[in-house]
Amino acid sequence: MLPTTPRVSKVITVLSGGVGAARLLRALSQEIDPRELVAVVNVGDDLVLHGLTICPDLDTITYTLAGLNNDELGWGLRGETWRVMEELDALGGEAWFRLGDRDLATHLYRSQRLADGATKTEVTAELCARHGVRVTLLPVTNDAVATEFVTDEGRMSFQEYFVGRRHDVVVRAIEVTGAAAARVTKEATAALEGATRLVIAPSNPLISIDPMLQVPGVREVLRARREDVVAVSPLVAGAALKGPADRLLCELGHDATTLGVVDFYEGLVGTWVIDEADVELSEAITSRGVAVEVTTTIMADPQNARRLAKVVLG
Ligand code: FO1
């Protein structure tokens, strides 16, 4: 099943990582026809484990839009059971990256379809269709891309750092292997070039959005369409709501504030949406020639999420 460009006149394309993007997409899909929404999704966190291809960001968004997400964990399916992991642990297998019994079906399905010759784009469309997700989800590339960390304790894969070490190790550099040679898919290119508005989700700039910007062609489209690009800051008063964005920004020499994120995306964004807690940064941001909208960016409360969606949609 090939994903088709949505048959609607307006398309909003959202560059997306995991949880923050999933929540924003859910709120946006309550404001507009979900068929008008496309998520171009990071694949730098993807891994092969037990011979299975696992795509955490694609799955987090799919499960969230299908209403099946596990809110407590922030990943995986709600009402999950862990019998396979318990057995695997008892066998002395690799059970540190926990795959729930039901979640495993997604990875089995994807891995078999990939082995059959389907692309990640096609498999994503199939999984979305099965779950009744009407937002179009597009992996940025079908090629292998892996975000890796150069740390004080050696080089680590994404999930070794993120889950294995709970992102509690000093990072010296982030490298996205395969990105320079990866080809952005034709579907993602069409979604980026044809959208009426491009949105950068409040995902981690360094490990969710930048791996996509490193795929040749993506950054260039954003730069050319800067006036149509709206970005939501992932930081509130200098802190990330989830994950290590603030810590990583600091460790890699950026300012761990919304202003630091604005500078990180220099030349790519026309309008910034920032949290009320950061209102005092508005002047500094506009002085960089960028428009600013101030609202609540914390989406835990559905009312706030919808308010944010309205601001993003302008
Ligand atoms: N995150 C964890 O903190 N621990 C896990 O065991 C874990 C398993 C897991 C399985 C499937 C999946 O799609 C995601 C999973 N995550 C887990 C989340 C994931 O590692 C990260 O949150 C993302 O990669 C960061 O966006």
User: Nearest CA to 164 among 94, 250, 75, 72?
Assistant: 94
Ligand 1 proximity of 18 Cβ (cutoff 6 Å): yes
Mean pLDDT along residues 116-123: 98
In the numeric block, which tokens belong to residue 110? Answer: 């994807």
Q: What angle do CA 167, 169, 173 make, to 5 degrees?
A: 90
pLDDT reported for residue 10 = 81
For the CA of 56, the closest atom of ligand 1 is 13
E strand or H helix at 273: strand 271-275
Q: How confident is the model at residue 242 (pLDDT cuts 50, 70, 90)?
A: confident
pLDDT reported for residue 147 = 98
Ligand 1 proximity of 57 Cβ (cutoff 6 Å): yes
pLDDT reported for residue 5 = 52
Q: Give, in order, the Cα–Cα distances in Å from 226 to each of 120, 250, 292.
A: 28, 26, 14
Encode pLDDT of 81-93 as tens digits. 999 999 999 999 9
* Ligand 1 centroid – CA 97 distance (Å): 7
Mean pLDDT along residues 31-40: 97
Count other C-beta atoms under 10 Å from residue 304's C-beta.
Answer: 15
pLDDT reported for residue 165 = 96
pLDDT reported for residue 1 = 53
Q: How confident is the model at residue 8 (pLDDT cuts 50, 70, 90)?
A: low
User: Nearest CA to 55 among 64, 45, 65, 63?
Assistant: 45
pLDDT of 267 strictly over 80:
yes
User: Nearest CA to 17 among 229, 232, 223?
Assistant: 232
Prediction pTM value: 0.96
Q: What is the residue-wise DSSP string for 118-154?
A: --HHHHHHHHHHHTT--SEEEESBSS--EEEEEETTE
Ligand 1 proximity of 160 Cβ (cutoff 6 Å): no
* Ligand 1 centroid – CA 213 distance (Å): 22
CA distance 58 to 56: 6
Residue type, 270: G
pLDDT reported for residue 47 = 98
Are 269 and 286 within 8 A, CB to CB?
Answer: no
Ligand 1 proximity of 201 Cβ (cutoff 6 Å): no
Delimit the domains of the chain by residue range.
Answer: 12-313
For the CA of 60, the closest atom of ligand 1 is 13
Give me the percent of the chain exceeding a pLDDT of 90. 95
Q: How confident is the model at residue 3 (pLDDT cuts 50, 70, 90)?
A: low
Mean pLDDT along residues 274-302: 96
Mean pLDDT along residues 120-137: 98
For the CA of 18, the closest atom of ligand 1 is 26
* Ligand 1 centroid – CA 151 distance (Å): 20
Which residues, in sequence order, are CB contacts of 280 under 8 Å at separation 6+? none
pLDDT reported for residue 4 = 53
CA distance 85 to 59: 19
pLDDT of 2 strictly over 80:
no
Mean pLDDT along residues 284-295: 97
**Average confidence score pLDDT of the chain:** 96
pLDDT of 7 strictly over 80:
no
For the CA of 208, the closest atom of ligand 1 is 26
Are 43 and 139 within 8 A, CB to CB?
Answer: yes
Encode pLDDT of 155-195 as tens digits. 999 999 999 999 999 999 999 999 999 999 999 999 999 99
* Ligand 1 centroid – CA 280 distance (Å): 35
Q: How confident is the model at residue 9 (pLDDT cuts 50, 70, 90)?
A: low
For the CA of 98, the closest atom of ligand 1 is 6
CATH number of the 12-313 domain:
3.40.50.10680
* Ligand 1 centroid – CA 56 distance (Å): 6
Residue nearest to atom 26 of ligand 1 (CA): 18
Mean pLDDT along residues 46-70: 98
